[in-house]
Amino acid sequence: MQITFLGTSSGVPTRSRNVSSVALRLPQRAEVWLLDCGESTQHQLLRSDVRISQINKIFVTHLHGDHIFGLPGLLATCSMAGNVQQMELFGPPGLKSYVDACLKYSETKLAYPLKIHRVEPGTVWEDPEYIVTCAPLTHRVAAFGYRLEQKLRPGRFDIERATALGIPSGPLYGQLKRGETVRLADGTVLDGREFCGDPKPGTKVAYCTDTIYCDNAVTLAQDADVLIHEATFAHQDAEMAYQRLHSTSTMAAQVALQANVKNLIMTHFSPRYAPGNNLQLEDLLKEAQMIFANTRLAHDFMTFEVA
């Protein structure tokens, strides 16, 4: 899985940072899932190497404009391009009304099926490979964090043994890798489970924005490979964070520490920490690293590989 940050500012865009959106690329499935879709997300996609045609799911945290104003334009562009087969949106109450109104009053007719799911705490989507869950965060409006978890992956395929047995490479290898039973041309029956090592844990990514520190964020992020967490404010501006129900850098780090994550990537930064001001984003990074050392600052078009 590869994470690409398409927007890392909060509230409004800046010269160097667009508003919230993150792309998750699932290369083995040739799919892209978006987390939020702020204004100009489709422009950011065009400037990245993420393929718009591969987007088929968008998970929305809440209905503030810096997280949803890019939806109507992106949906329309996908339709006019003609290369999207279907699209599913997941989000809080009101998301369907918002999208329906935008499409109705702009007289936009989509050329693909659009399904809009109203999320509730728990599992919001699942297939044989992935499960996506959500939980409410603490913000001024209904907001949800998401956990995207890959299920157990097959262990290492013993290609040496397969070669020694004269099994031809190709589809049969794929069947054995999946643990399936295979019958060869000579009638030999092989159990794919005997060719694979112990299953490996899948990757886990948690996405928590917008919110002040809350226990549900810790639960969503438990043992995650990557926690993407908002850090709108510096620690010294905690009073503003409490008033506006946003997180400080130290709150994000506390969530990462308590959840035992491997990596924390902070995003959703206030424009007040732009170059030339007393506090810089590097100061927020130092604050967080005092609590959780493996912390990074996101920036637009940054990519992160999740092993």
Phi, psi at residue 306, to the nearest 5°? -100, 115
> What value, to the nearest 5°, has the Cα angle with vertex 21 and ends 124 and 60?
30
Establish whether 66 is a catalytic residue.
Answer: yes
The C-alpha atoms of residue 27 and residue 228 are separated, in whole angstroms, by: 20
Pairing of strands 226-230, 204-208: parallel
Residue 69 DSSP symbol: T
The active-site residue, picked from 36, 49, 66, 100, is 66
In angstroms, rounded to a whole number, what is the distance separating the alpha carbons of residues 209 and 8? 11
Residue in this structure with the two tokens 């959840």, named with its chain if needed: 259
User: What phi, psi does 59 have (nearest 5°)?
Assistant: -105, 120
Q: Is 269 helix (H, G, I), strand (E, B) or coil?
A: strand
Neighbours of 16 (CB within 10 A): 12
Report, as residue numbers or ranges, the catalytic residues: 66
